[in-house]
Structure 1
Amino acid sequence: MAAGPGISPKAPGSPLAAMRSARNYPHLVARDLGLDLVDVTYSGATTAHVLTDSQHGEPPQVEALDGSEALVTVTIGGNDVGYVPMLCAAALPAPLRWLPPLRGMRDPAARRRDLRAVAEKLVRVGSEIRRRAPRARVMFVDYLTLLPPHGTASPLSPRDVDLGREIAAELERLTAAAAGTTGCGVVRAAEASRAHHAWSARPWTTLPSRFPVPIPGHTAPLHPNADGMRAVADLMVSECGVAEFRA
């Protein structure tokens, strides 16, 4: 959600598997605030990839911190709970949705177990970033709203839409709670994008696809589009203030 898969152009020198855009919100914020950028966003990352685990040969993302940072931003947690994979599985043709692996992605009990577990993981992320970057302003950025607040969202079933809304609401709550617990700030992208969900007239995110994998030249399904990334960057700059970083 922070990497910007499919938003062209690709960030120069970034790993192909990261699907990292040169127009994701970290790049836009750095440009607006006049900051040098170290961007380690990586598509598919979990809290473990932020804290302890290698991802496709890349070190844990916190290893990029050296204590000189003025601003650190982080969007994480959705992959821990299978948020977008669940919605992508739900958008597949009906016979495929019930294949065992895909049915498991759509299991409410499994998603709720993962949500309970991610609360502590988000706190660990905030605490570790604060420890490694003690002089930085640390900002959690929650997830842009994907689903309409009310009604249906074809081709998703009402059951899957309800589960998706539940996951989104809990991720939003847990992100804010982790930020508060660890002394970090929070950019409330979910709240700002209620009217810009993927099914809206002016979406900041993309609709699901019957082929829920990134297609070259196209923004990834159920991910921010260029307008969404610009909106998140504007929220960040408004929250932080240009003067703070250009003084």
Structure 2
Amino acid sequence: MRPTSQPSSPPPGTRAARAAVTSAAALAVLAVTTTAASAGPTAETADAVRYVALGDSFSSGPGVPEQTDALCGRSSANYPTLVARALGATSFTDVTCAGATTSHLTGPQETVPPQLDALRPDTTLVTLGIGGNDLDLPGVITRCVLLGYVAPYGSPCKQSYTLFGTDEIGSRINATAPRIEAVLKEIHARSPQARVLLVGYPVLFPDDGTACRETVALAQGDFPWLRDKEKHLNTMLAQRAAAHGARYVDAYGPSIGHDVCKPAGVRWIEPEDTAEAVGFHPNAAGHRGTADAILASLTR
């Protein structure tokens, strides 16, 4: 997703497998921990994994040190890099890019080529993290923060998106579902040997619905509403993965307790632009958490 910061005034927008894993590789993955994710390649997988990473800013890692591609906000510590390193991938192509939507997988994103062009017939592992920008989740959060400044109680943002009994965000999520399906079909067509992992979004706001207005200026009632909308998005992604030959990787469950309301050193999501990541995006610890979830998925 496009980087989104908590503003003091209206914030500007920011740019920023079916894998051929042998039994020995599976044992190597079982041994991987967060520490191992930062270690060197394993010999067991070095001749097996040809990995392509696709996705938006929750995959690319804008603001996470060290940045390797300013245009796409790509980090050397993002979860694709950690997964590739842990598996000792023979080849690794990371084309994740901040601001990407499903349309940027098959078409260009300004000067950035279509992400699916990175796929090859012999690709064995694909991770895909996409969907948030299709429903403009950064814009939703921005609106909610602005409304929270004006009306700190109740749920003004929810009300603004549910006028006249509609559910605008729910409709956007439902409209994104066939786009996810089309992308998954195209990945399978281009890389028929690949194990495809569709990666969900980590927890943003407290899973228990509590508010932290001292950290994020949302109205109290909009904290649980935004939590529910993210869960709806992740549920849709899980359903599309199950229906179209991909494995869904739950990044939400393992990240509970590391939401934006937690203090530095505990949180995996930054509440504003910091030296760790851009606002409302995973920091290095968040990427390690998602990498661990992916590696665990490869052993099942």
Q: Name the TM-score class by shorter chain.
A: 0.7 to 0.9
Instruction: Provide the rounded CA distance (Å) in 2 between the counterparts of 1:37 and 1:27.
Output: 8
Indicate if the aligned counterparts of 2:270 and 2:276 stay in contact, CA closer than 8 A. no
Quote the offset at 1:119 in angstroms.
Answer: 1.2
Q: Does 1:172 align with 2:229?
A: no
Instruction: Provide the rounded CA distance (Å) in 2 between the counterparts of 1:113 and 1:187.
Output: 23
The AA in structure 2 aligned to 1:179 is: A
Q: Does 1:17 align with 2:79?
A: no
Q: Does 1:188 align with 2:216?
A: no
SS at match of 1:189: coil
Indicate if the aligned counterparts of 2:126 and 2:194 stay in contact, CA closer than 8 A. yes
Indicate if the aligned counterparts of 1:142 and 1:172 stay in contact, CA closer than 8 A. yes
SS at match of 1:74: strand
Indicate if the aligned counterparts of 1:67 and 1:132 stay in contact, CA closer than 8 A. yes
Quote the offset at 1:239 in angstroms.
Answer: 1.4
Instruction: Provide the rounded CA distance (Å) in 2 between the counterparts of 1:196 and 1:130.
Output: 34
1:45: which partner in 2? 100
1:7: which partner in 2? 64
The AA in structure 2 aligned to 1:37 is: F
Q: Does 1:86 align with 2:140?
A: yes
The AA in structure 2 aligned to 1:127 is: K
1:205: which partner in 2? 269
Instruction: Provide the rounded CA distance (Å) in 2 between the counterparts of 1:158 and 1:50.
Output: 36
2:80: which partner in 1? 26
Instruction: Provide the rounded CA distance (Å) in 2 between the counterparts of 1:85 and 1:60.
Output: 24
2:27: which partner in 1? none
Indicate if the aligned counterparts of 1:81 and 1:118 stay in contact, CA closer than 8 A. yes
1:160: which partner in 2? 222
Quote the offset at 1:34 in angstroms.
Answer: 0.5
2:206: which partner in 1? 148
Q: 1:110 aligns with which of 168, 178, 190?
A: 168
Instruction: Provide the rounded CA distance (Å) in 1 between the counterparts of 2:129 and 2:72.
Output: 15
SS at match of 1:233: helix
1:56: which partner in 2? 110
Quote the offset at 1:8 in angstroms.
Answer: 0.9
2:289: which partner in 1? 231
- Percent sequence identity over matched residues? 32
Instruction: Provide the rounded CA distance (Å) in 1 between the counterparts of 2:202 and 2:103.
Output: 22
Indicate if the aligned counterparts of 1:83 and 1:164 stay in contact, CA closer than 8 A. no
- Kindly report structure 1 stretches of 4+ aligned residues shifted beyond 6 Å: none
2:48: which partner in 1? none
Instruction: Provide the rounded CA distance (Å) in 2 between the counterparts of 1:193 and 1:162.
Output: 16
The AA in structure 2 aligned to 1:199 is: C
Deviations, residues 113-135 of structure 1 (Å, cap 9, x unaligned):
21120111111121111111110
Deviations, residues 180-207 of structure 1 (Å, cap 9, x unaligned):
0111011100111122211135211111
SS at match of 1:56: coil
TM-score, scaled relative to structure 1: 0.84
Quote the offset at 1:218 in angstroms.
Answer: 4.6
Quote the offset at 1:169 in angstroms.
Answer: 1.0
The AA in structure 2 aligned to 1:194 is: I
Quote the offset at 1:29 in angstroms.
Answer: 0.3
SS at match of 2:71: helix
Quote the offset at 1:166 in angstroms.
Answer: 2.4
Deviations, residues 130-165 of structure 1 (Å, cap 9, x unaligned):
111110110011000001022213211134324312
Return the structure number with greater strand share.
2
Indicate if the aligned counterparts of 1:83 and 1:167 stay in contact, CA closer than 8 A. no
1:100: which partner in 2? none
Cα RMSD after superposing both structures: 2.3
Instruction: Provide the rounded CA distance (Å) in 1 between the counterparts of 2:244 and 2:67.
Output: 33
Q: Runs of 5+ in structure 2 lacking a partner? A: 1-57
